[in-house]
Amino acid sequence: MKVLVAVKRVIDYNVKIRVKADHSDVDLTNVKMAMNPFCEIAVEEAVRLKEKGVATEVVAVTIGPKASQEQLRTALALGADRAIQIETDERAESLAVAKLLAKVVEQEQPGLVILGKQAIDTDNNQTGQMLAALTNLPQGTFASEVVVEGDQVHVTREIDGGLQTIALTLPAIVTTDLRLNEPRYAKLPDIMKAKKKPLDVKTPADFGVDVASKVSLLKVESPAERKGGIKVASVDELIDKLKNEAKVL
C-alpha cells in the first residue's frame, strides 16, 4: 500500500524565539528552520513500513512557502519516494492544511497517512484529527506503536493515564508521538540521490481550497519573565526558605 506523510517546516527546536517589537508575530527572519521533530518521526515510520514490505511507496507532502522544499528533500533523503509541495506564502491554519491534505488523500488514495501529533511552533495538535474527520477515516493519534495486520492497523496510543491500543480499519490516519521511533540521519549519498527524486509543486487553487481563516492573530507577546531566584547552601537552608519565606511547606 501507499503511505502518505505530511511534513512541516518550523523553527528549529533549539532556537530561543524572539517576539517582534510590534507584537505582530514571532520573528522568523534569519532563524534556523528545520523539519518539525514529530514529522521526522512520521517519515521514519513510513520508511520502516516500506523496509518491512508493508508499504510499497512513500509520498511526502508539505504545505508552505518555496523554502519548505528543503524539508521535502530531507524527507526524500530519509527514504520517501516522491514529494508534493502545495505552495502558499499565507499562514495556513490546521483546518486549511487538513482540507488540502484531504484533497491529496483523495487523489493519491494512500492506505495509511502519517502525521506528527503537533507542530512545535503553533502547538495546535489538530491537523491529523481534522484530516481524519474530513476524509471520514478513523484516527490513531499520539501513536507509540503502529502494527499493520491485513486490513487493519493496531495503534498503541500515549494517553494521560498510560497506554491504549485501538484497532482501525484501513485506510486510516495516524499521528506520531515521540516514543514511536528514533529517526535516522540522512547520509550524504542519499541526500545527493534525493535531489533527483520527483517533487511536484501545486497551489491551493489547484485543489479549489481557500486557505483563509476566520481566526485572526491580534497580538503576540512574550510571557511574563520569571525572576531568577537565589542559590541556597544546604538542605537545611532550603527547607527553612520553603517553610518561612515561600510558605509552601
115 to 134, contacts with another protein by CB under 8 A? 117-118, 120-134
Residue 216 binds another protein (CB under 8 A): yes
Look up cell 481524519; give the residue.
132
Three-class DSSP category at 53:
coil
Question: Least CB distance from residue 248 to another protein, whole Å?
Answer: 4
Measure the CA–CA gap between 71 and 174, rounded to whole angstroms.
20
Question: Least CB distance from residue 208 to another protein, whole Å?
Answer: 15
116 in Cβ contact with 179 (< 8 Å):
no
Query: Which of 53, 189, 208, 228: binder of another protein (CB under 8 A)?
Result: 228
Closest residue by Cα to residue 8 from 59, 62, 60: 62
Three-class DSSP category at 122:
coil
Residue 21 binds another protein (CB under 8 A): no
- The window from 7-15, 107-115, 190-198, 203-211 that contacts another protein (CB under 8 A) reads 7-15
Q: Which is nearer to another protein, 67 or 238 (CB)?
A: 238
C-alpha cell at 50: 516500506
> Which whole-number Å values give the CA distances from 224 to 193, 228, 229, 245, in the listed order?
47, 12, 15, 22
Q: Which is nearer to another protein, 192 or 239 (CB)?
A: 239
Q: Which is nearer to another protein, 83 or 143 (CB)?
A: 143
- The window from 41-49, 78-86, 189-197, 217-225 that contacts another protein (CB under 8 A) reads 217-225
Residues 49-68 that bind another protein (CB under 8 A): none
C-alpha cell at 38: 514529530
158 in Cβ contact with 38 (< 8 Å):
no
Binding map of another protein across residues 164-203, x = CB under 8 A, - = no contact:
xxxxxx--x----xxx------------------------
Question: Least CB distance from residue 53 to another protein, whole Å?
Answer: 24
Measure the CA–CA gap between 126 and 109, rounded to whole angstroms.
21
Residue 26 binds another protein (CB under 8 A): yes
Question: Least CB distance from residue 197 to another protein, whole Å?
Answer: 30
CA angle 125, 131, 137 (to 5 degrees): 120
